[in-house]
Chain A
């Protein structure tokens, strides 16, 4: 029997057709062999401005233009490559050194291979996105070269060749081809220009060796960086992940953490319901205690201890396994601070580390004891352990170097050493960082990132990115805050500013009504419109008017800045605004969503000038019943811009009887009716600990700037009408866009969220909280009054607010209509319409409303982009929800920082005349732990942990320094009753009644607030210290 095989290689077409074969596993469990045909071409340009060949062959677009070439004709040189060089990094170089490639000091003219980009996407999506944005920017001159499609650079995988080897070969092939190509082009152009060197950057030793054989220049990333200026700083920016893996390898036997399950095991478990997936969240009071909320259970599962949390960092999406019942515990009643427990760890000596130090073990033991106690509330809760990480959500962390971890000779030496970086975010463990500039970094706010957390390391390993400046300097701290909350604070790029009207500040509403700007606009310039805002407000979003109608009813109008007129969908400004999502207000700084020109001038409804607006106009009966509502684009002229106080004064001033004041009085009257109606429907009056800071003059006591927000009637006047406008608009856009209307909902909180609070209230105050509905909750909250303690009610409201879920933007199609409810406002439907200058959601709603009322825009065709695609809207919702939350956090953190600084300034002033005695204030106990309490100080809107040492016991002589106080802690014992929420602190051996201090939940305590420098750890960290003095 004979057999013959057809010979394929004789096919002349075979050379430029090839295929790519891989296996694809789909989500539904299908496994497919995928074959993609590749047609190789020769017209993919090298994109070097030196090249004289490619411009003639590069493919042109429809208008006959070819894409501009990226790579410089005069690339920068280094010592090793004096004639300039182009970089060709491989995937690992990018994985390990993305921060370097983003650095503005070096790494220009980089050729990114398609092969490398694809490999990077498989390995790390965040890095892939960062690389893409690098390629998009012009200034770094990154060129994405489609090497797989170019005949000369396509590499066929050999038999027995691994994918990695093949890809490395592809990198070398490209480098070789570029060199040859540029040389050929130089020869053709007869210019005796020297051809830049092509430098392959790879950390693969084998690849470097092969490159040598193939006559291609290849260096490792660290070798290359070492040859650059400022190399020490740059070397620190290389990721440690790879290095750690290489150096340790299999040699190190001791593994502290259990191994993660394999991906397939995780998937099997998750699908079968044996494992659960959720976001890992660390308790802010106890770094050893985490929780994961999973859909399968009502309450979050507890994760106790480092070995159970198994290298998960707060924010990671993890897979967890429920532990057997005998390991169930109650949540901790102790404050455990990482710094305090582990401050003596040495970053260099891995060998002696155990995964759980004795100290930590002790801390846990006590918890277990607690759990096994008699308490009813403290009955054991299900615990779980982390068995795998589905998605790391590591970001860049702001922190500072723990001075204890630097070697003593640090300041002098330039050698590399390992230090701990303590992140600002307490819930993130300290990060081990290798640095050559330890001495220099001490006392600086620095930005670091986590690279890896291996089983043999107790702490994650990361690397330094950059320094923000000295600790406690305003610039560094503000930037730290913005970075920590992921606020986009860079100035607007030119492409965004180009979208502004060319007239700039001279832009005016066109005088001629024939002008296209008047298309579809109503002329409301005759109405007596005014705006009421906080003092000093520049971005005036809203203005109001009210006037009597001949039929006895009233016409009430809310006029909102017409931002959507200036921000057209999908231009650079719109995209930037959608990324920023919201304006962020810090104490002394505002990070705008839209460029200054729009926010504070063209859109802002400033008084005495004509402005475009989007108006909602109602006809209401004298009893504030709404007869009809109308929406229109308009032109208005605000008569006056009041502050809340001014408006209040004017309304109260009986001598003022002009039309404007009358209209304001009408508005106020209506607002009161509306407000009452809302409360009757069950709207909640919630409280959050807010203070506002009015930056006053430098001379006075800085603390006088700290003011709790005063509620004037005029505040609620504006608020009521804004709510009404939002609700009216929400109804309208939902009518028109049943799937894509952008709405805002506040989910009804599950009753179990309130369990603790209900328990505490009934125990301590014999009060009841009815959480069956928002109306019931509102009325039961009203009953929670302590006649002796007027603040008690606010405190309860603050605590109740924390039990609720946060409100969110969503797309109408994403939820059933019954889920649209806004719980807090007791409104069946709600959206944000009234602040388009500072919120992107409002801007979108404006567009939707414009489309809903058939507004056709200036040029006659409606702009409904961004209104109709639900997928895109959902992405936007996700982003603005996230930005919104972060903006709130950032604002609060900023106030906290300001209060701290004010206290510090005051302390320093006082210190001139003696010691810093702090400031006496009233505080309220919000939470009781076994070894401390959390106290809220309404005057400053801050809450702080009061540890054992910070209790001033009777008979104690005055105020000690921080260091002295720390000593006290070990001499103290506590009696903690978790059922009664009481804590008694006394000195060891002195159990006489009068020598101890008793505190209980909700108790009003006298506190001494001051800002102190942390001693002992010497990092210059500052915290607000609260002493309980009685």
Chain B
């Protein structure tokens, strides 16, 4: 049972007493000026070290280490693969004269790519690869990677990975993203893994294609001319717009809400008291440099599973010792539940629309957290 919990709610519930939880919650939910245990501001990330191309045998790789000692390595390998179109069905259709809409659709699959071309595996110490956490995490990250083109609009090639994997109608790249968490998952590892994957993809190069059009692919054997999967803009144009807003892989951020406050990059203790935990995937739109929301996923907050504190009024030991006025239940503005201040009650997981809207806004707005993260990642020299 406890393993189940772990798996679904991601990180172990820290062994904090209800009083500690309540204290944490209170300080984090202080209106407008939350106080985090490590003194960060709500939007501040933990410092990290990052490097790319650490694995020479891969097409792209990255290592990111958070200051709390958690580290992850991501390697990206690419393989040429034949695009299998069900020719028989195509033939059959044309024989029976059925409308060609579906044929076009299929063609667009060959042009627009297919989600199954990206394969992601996540290895977390202490977990089997079919445990819920790795599976859930990998699906969450893969979805935003390939799903960036979800709507299949022709213009929407932005951060979408699968469209980039198309070589021609008959061939494509298959991408294997192997994510390895090196340390115990002290906090929910999503941000770490996402950032590492982002950097790894950014440094991923594919051999330069020499053949043209619908020919069988044929590649230049010089690795130095290999091309980035996410191409860089040339230096000259980069000068025009100070920070080049080139297309980048998506990033998934972990955001929690505590009371009315929104807190980024929560550590383990902060998650334990969160009202809601959200994974927000963003990417940068191609031209304008605007950020674009790709997906929002709610993560089951571990606070649900904590032991509740007992208000004095209900405590048998304290019966009659305290004036009942101290125990007046107050309505929590964020959750709409009645609570006794200073007494921990497990969160139920609900969160108000306005809070979510605020979260998204904080991420996406100009100069917001999203931009800050992406800029920070750009600061990592990708070589």
Contacts and interface: CB of A to CB of B under 8 A. Distances in A.
Nearest to B205: A33
A25 B57 CA distance: 15
A21 B225 CA distance: 11
Given A29-B216, A264-B217, A265-B211, A4 B50 contact: yes
A23 B50 contact: no
A9 interface: no
A22 interface: yes
Interface string B204-248: 000100111011111111111010000000000000000000000
A19 interface: yes
B193 to A, nearest CB: 16
Contact of A23 (B49, B51, B79, B223): B223
B47 interface: yes
Interface residues of B, number: 38
A2 B47 contact: yes
Given A25-B218, A30-B80, A262-B211, A2 B48 contact: yes
A809 B375 CA distance: 70
Given A31-B80, A33-B59, A22 B221 contact: yes
Given A30-B79, A31-B79, A264-B211, A5 B216 contact: no
A699 interface: no
Contacts of B210: 262-264
Contacts of B372: 1
A19 B55 CA distance: 12
Contact of A264 (B218, B221, B223): B218
A24 interface: yes
B380 A5 contact: yes
Nearest to A20: B223
A802 interface: no
Given A1-B48, A263-B218, A267-B218, 6 more contacts: A1-B45, A2-B376, A21-B56, A33-B57, A163-B224, A271-B216
A31 B48 contact: no
Interface in A897-914: none
B373 interface: yes
A250 interface: no
A35 interface: yes
B154 to A, nearest CB: 26
Interface of A: 1-6, 19, 21-25, 29-31, 33, 35, 157, 163, 262-265, 267-268, 271
B215 A33 contact: no
B377 interface: yes
B379 interface: yes
A157 to B, nearest CB: 7
A643 B218 CA distance: 64
A163 B216 contact: no
B314 interface: no
Nearest to B44: A1
7 contacts: A1-B373, A5-B381, A6-B51, A31-B78, A262-B212, A264-B212, A264-B217
A24 B57 CA distance: 12
Most B CB contacts (10 A, CB to CB) among A2, A30, A163 go to: A2
A35 B216 contact: no
B218 A3 contact: no
B68 to A, nearest CB: 15
Contacts of B207: 23, 31, 33
A606 B284 CA distance: 93
Nearest to B216: A268
Contacts of B212: 262, 264-265
Nearest to B50: A3
A4 B49 contact: yes
Interface string B343-383: 00000000000000000000000000000110111011100
The 4 closest A-B pairs by CB, nearest first: A264-B211, A264-B218, A1-B376, A268-B216
A3 B49 contact: yes
B377 A3 contact: yes
Nearest to B210: A264
Nearest to B379: A3
Nearest to B376: A1
A4 B59 CA distance: 22
A308 to B, nearest CB: 23
Interface string B57-80: 111000000000000000000111
Contacts of A263: 210-211, 218
A282 to B, nearest CB: 30
A821 B219 CA distance: 45
A163 B224 CA distance: 9
Contacts of A262: 210-212, 215, 218
A21 B221 CA distance: 9
A120 to B, nearest CB: 16
Q: Which of B51, B78, B215 has the most CB of A within 10 A?
A: B215
A35 B226 CA distance: 14
From B50, B212, B380, residue with most partner A Cβ within 10 Å:
B50
A287 B304 CA distance: 90
A585 B214 CA distance: 54
Contacts of A29: 80, 82, 216
A1 B82 CA distance: 41
A23 B215 contact: no
Contacts of A5: 49-51, 380-381
Nearest to A29: B80
Contacts of B220: 23
Nearest to B383: A5
Contacts of A19: 56
B50 A33 contact: no
Given A5-B381, A29-B216, A35-B56, A24 B221 contact: yes
A265 B210 CA distance: 10
A157 B224 CA distance: 9
Nearest to A272: B216
A23 B226 CA distance: 9
A266 to B, nearest CB: 9
A827 B119 CA distance: 60
Contacts of B222: 22-23, 163
A263 B218 CA distance: 8
Nearest to B58: A33
Contacts of B48: 1-3
Contact of B219 (A2, A31, A265): A31
Contacts of B377: 1, 3
Contacts of B51: 5-6
Of B207, B372, B375, which is in contact with the most chain A CB atoms at under 10 Å from its CB? B207
Contacts of B59: 33
Given A2-B47, A2-B376, A3-B380, A23 B219 contact: yes
Nearest to B220: A23
B177 to A, nearest CB: 16
A545 B108 CA distance: 82
Contacts of A35: 56-57
Contacts of A4: 49-50
Contacts of B80: 29-31
A886 to B, nearest CB: 36
A3 B219 CA distance: 35
B215 A264 contact: yes
